[in-house]
Amino acid sequence: MISKNIENRIIKYFTQSADVEDLDILNNWLLDVKNQEIFKSYVKTHFAINLAMDNSEFDKVKEELIREIKKEKQYKTKVKFLSFLKYAAIALLFIGLGFLMKYNLKNTNSLESVTPREDVITLELGNGEKQIINEDGSSELIDANGNVVGDKKGSQLIYDKGENKPEFNTLRIPNGKRFGIVLSDGTKVHLNAGSSITYPTSFEKDKPRRVTLKGEAFFEVSHEKERQFVVNVQDLDVKVYGTKFNISNYSENKETEVVLVEGSVSMSSTRRTVELDSEVFLIPGYMGVFNKDNMDIDNRKVNTDLYTSWIQGNLVFRDSPFEEIIQQLERHYNVVIINNNNQLADEKFNATIEVDYETIEQVFKYFNKVYQIEYQIVENKIIIN
């Protein structure tokens, strides 16, 4: 049994009338695995009703649904529920409802699909040589001088604490992919799609540990009192004091965002004047925003999960301009999206998307169903009308 309060919010969710407060309460309730199972039963009932209403072959639909429910009872799977439930298509979020996914795909009116481009991850060595990095298997990491400096294990490069002379490498992640790296000091870096990081194969003693980032990355910095860790992003230095934080610095954005999860970081412009000669310190739960034009630094309290969910393959948009959503969808799916509806660009939307499980076609079907956004697929491009 569930409380009337929760049940009312579930009903509001299904009827698309839930507000932000309703969704936050419902999301907190769903953190309990037992509650996820209860919610799944509501989902099945809701979809059974809708499918029966939309399909004249009621008995066939009912048989398929019962078969899937029995299958789920035999094979229990853990379902991770995302924040802001209203903003994702229910059938896409719950992978366990395999029939519903297959039903939607079989009965789609779209005759075309989008095939994302397959670009490769590359590692540029100190001598300019470029290597293609595969996302599976294991291999040794060799520097430009032929020395073994670490290993590649699956989707991660792991560097040793070796004594070899350091050389600067650049790891580039194309759109549509994510990758990780463990630096020689033990610092972990999760790189988002369309990003690159330049770093030494080993850090010199008694000198700051410096890396350069383009794009977005989440850092888990290994604390060393004697050697400060510094991330340079264009005209901004982020000085680290042993911490976990996210930096977003894509070239098309007018601002660089630094979100602090744990520890302490400071932000300071590298193009300093007398007026700008200062560090802005962040405390956990705050985001620092660096304006690339006037070099002002502002900070405000945020929900850090919104800015780090990409590590688990989730895109969370909350009151986000549609133009920004399009940019992120292009980056994470490695597709081309053309927006011919100028009025949409600045309109704000909310959505939660599981990139690893939802295709770009499914995402746009959701936008069409919930927000009535018209689109078509032409020559492997998504065109919004």
Global pTM value: 0.71
Q: Does the structure show a pLDDT above 70 at 277?
A: no
Q: Does the structure show a pLDDT above 50 at 74?
A: no
Q: Can you give the residue ranges of every domain in the chain?
A: 4-106, 121-307, 313-384
Query: Please, which residues have CB within 8 angstroms of residue 358's CB and are 6 or more apart in sequence?
Result: 89, 92
Per CATH, which fold does 313-384 belong to? Phage tail protein beta-alpha-beta fold (3.55.50)
Q: In this predicted structure, what is the pLDDT of residue 145?
A: 87
Residue percentage of the chain with pLDDT more than 70 = 79
The string of pLDDT tens digits covering residues 216-249 is 999 999 888 888 999 999 889 999 987 899 999 9
Closest CA relative to residue 323, chosen from 307, 339, 310: 339
The whole-chain average pLDDT of the chain stands at 81
Gap between the Cα atoms of 23 and 28, Å rounded = 9
| For residues 120-133, average pLDDT | 94
Max CA pair span of the chain: 76
How many other CB atoms sit within 10 Å of the CB of residue 132?
8
The string of pLDDT tens digits covering residues 293-352 is 988 999 999 999 999 999 999 999 988 999 999 999 999 999 999 999 888 888 998 888
What CATH class does 121-307 carry?
mainly beta
Q: Does the structure show a pLDDT above 70 at 146?
A: yes
